[in-house]
Amino acid sequence: MSPSVERQIKETLQRGLSSMSDRGTEGHNMSTDSFEMSSIERALPQLPEMMQGSWRGEDDVEYLEGVHLMLNAEGASLWPLAIDGRVLHDRHFTWRQGPRAVTILPPSVAGALVTEQKPYATRGDWLQILIPPDLAQEMSKQLSDLSRLADSDSESEGEAEKSPRPSLPLVYSWPTHRLTLSILHDMEILY
């Protein structure tokens, strides 16, 4: 991205944030460091259409029957934080790689593409996954070991002996929610 486009995005976001601060906390339902999609759209009205991405129109939303998400160990190690630290506290969590993003969120987050009737949605390179409270509780228990996937070899031996890293590949499935999570070695991930 050219420096002038980056500067234009930054200035536009600053104007959008300034206008939001005039309204109080409205629009800050997605997290403490981001804001609902309608606020993003209001903050970026002057960017050329091609720079705004596919999230501008409702026509681009595709609802999915189920999702099989494949992550490497580093990405998967964030699931416990995402569930326990964000989703269970009515906040979203987003993974990004290049232009692609995956957001998991509880039903209470405003401005989302997903609904309880349509829990999986894509818009361009962005996938949203709705995590209802019962699934969040179940995931919290089942995925707690994933935080150890990010442990490096440089840790003290005492820590490594207490909690060995789970070996890959790993697959977690929640059939009633039509959701599967696979954790693969970096070399097995398709980009």
Q: How far apart are the first and last CA of the chain?
A: 21
Cβ atoms of 94 and 102 closer than 8 Å: yes
- Give yes or no: residues 28 and 67 share one domain: no
Instruction: Give the number of other Cβ atoms within 10 Å of residue 147's Cβ.
Output: 17
Domains: count for the chain = 2
The token pair at 190 is 């398709």
Q: Which residues pair with 45 in a beta bridge?
A: none
- Give yes or no: residues 36 and 92 share one domain: no
In a domain, residue 113? The reply is: yes
Q: Which residues pair with 5 in a beta bridge?
A: none
* pLDDT (0 to 100) of residue 70: 92
Where are the extended beta strands (E) located within the chain?
61-63, 67-72, 93-97, 100-105, 120-123, 126-130, 170-174, 179-184
Cβ atoms of 127 and 68 closer than 8 Å: no
> What CA–CA distance (Å, rounded) separates 5 from 42?
18
* pLDDT (0 to 100) of residue 164: 74
Q: What is the DSSP letter of 35?
A: -
* pLDDT (0 to 100) of residue 38: 43
* pLDDT (0 to 100) of residue 131: 97
Cβ atoms of 109 and 90 closer than 8 Å: yes
Question: pLDDT tens track of the chain, all 191 residues?
Answer: 567 666 666 666 666 555 544 444 444 333 334 434 444 444 444 444 434 444 445 458 999 999 999 998 989 999 999 999 999 999 999 999 888 999 999 999 999 999 999 999 999 999 999 999 999 999 999 999 898 887 654 444 444 455 677 888 999 999 999 999 999 987 766 55
Q: What is the CATH number of the domain that holds 119?
A: 3.30.1360.230
* pLDDT (0 to 100) of residue 161: 53
- pTM value? 0.65
* pLDDT (0 to 100) of residue 97: 86
Identify the CA nearest to 45 among candidates 20, 21, 9: 9
- Give yes or no: residues 113 and 134 share one domain: yes
* pLDDT (0 to 100) of residue 49: 44
**Which residues constitute the domain of residue 35?**
1-52
Instruction: Give the contacts of 160 (CB within 8 A, at least 6 positions apart).
Output: 151
* pLDDT (0 to 100) of residue 69: 94
* pLDDT (0 to 100) of residue 18: 58
* pLDDT (0 to 100) of residue 13: 63
- Give yes or no: residues 40 and 75 share one domain: no
Amino acid at 134: D
